Amino acid sequence: MIDYIKGEITELTPAFVVLETVGIGYFVHITLPTYSFLGEEKSAKLFVYEAIREDAHVLYGFRYQSERQLFLLLISVSGIGANTARMIMSSYTAQEIQEMIASGNVSALNAIKGIGTKTAQRIIVDLKDKIVKGVGGADFTGMISGAHSEVKEEAVSALVMLGFASAASQKTVDSILKEQPTLKVEQLIKLALKMM
């Protein structure tokens, strides 16, 4: 089982990336959030899920381990294949998907192309307890805290690069995230700039 692939990006589209490492190019299927992240990068490290079928070995790549964990939960639901799970994860952030499942928001899941009402209900029934309790007994907030802390780190480092003091940047970002914990990095930076 491959855990991750780290290498130079030789080809990038919204659907896949080719990562070259030690002279081998790995064709890795990705989600739109991963594509957005990779757009500015020359090299990358992606956590991988390897689907071994009779006719192919297919790789799916994720920026964070928490995203791969969510992907694995989604494909464990009857009727959800890897491509459907990838469509779900391209429509919303991992955190938004977990919040939809935890709150039982059928209509939001139903709005995703290819997800009918019954499938949305099945996802919620099968995964709600796992999401709320978290994997390995952690609570719901614990499961999303990995993505949350990465958003915080990115925002703070961006502010520091813009010339603001690290301590002041961290304090401002923390106070914003207390009020609005689901902000994306760009939104967080814009709000922080107004407060600095």
Burial class (CB in 10 A: 0-12, 13-18, 19+), 149: exposed
Instruction: Give the pLDDT confidence score for residue 141 in this predicted structure.
Output: 46
Query: Given a cut of 50, is residue 17 above it in pLDDT?
Result: yes
pLDDT in tens, 138-168: 444 444 455 566 778 788 888 887 888 888 8
Q: How many CB atoms lie within 10 A of CB 89?
A: 24
- Three-state SS for 126? helix
- Topology of domain 141-195, per CATH? Helicase, Ruva Protein; domain 3 (1.10.8)
Establish how many alpha carbons lie within 13 A of residue 7's alpha carbon, considering only the half-sphere containing its beta carbon. 20
Dihedral Cα 76, 81, 38, 148, nearest 10 deg: -30
H or E element that contains 191: helix 185-195
Per-residue model confidence (pLDDT) at position 190: 84
Fold of 66-136: DNA polymerase; domain 1 (1.10.150)
Domain layout of the chain by residue ranges: 4-62, 66-136, 141-195
Q: Token pair of 110, please?
A: 């139903």
Provide the b/e sequence for 98-127 (b: ≥16 CB within 10 Å).
bbbbbeebbebbeebeebeeebbebbbebb
**Residue with the two structure tokens 């928001």:** 105
pLDDT for the residue 85: 92
Identical topology for domains 4-62 and 66-136:
no
CATH for the stretch 4-62 = 2.40.50.140
* pLDDT tens-digit series, residues 35-79: 988 988 899 999 999 998 889 899 999 998 889 999 999 999 988
What is the per-residue pLDDT across 81-115, written as a single tens digit (0 to 9) for each?
Answer: 999 999 999 988 888 888 888 888 888 888 888 88
Answer whether residue 174 shows pLDDT above 90.
no
Q: pTM for the complete prediction?
A: 0.67
Supply the pLDDT for residue 140.
46
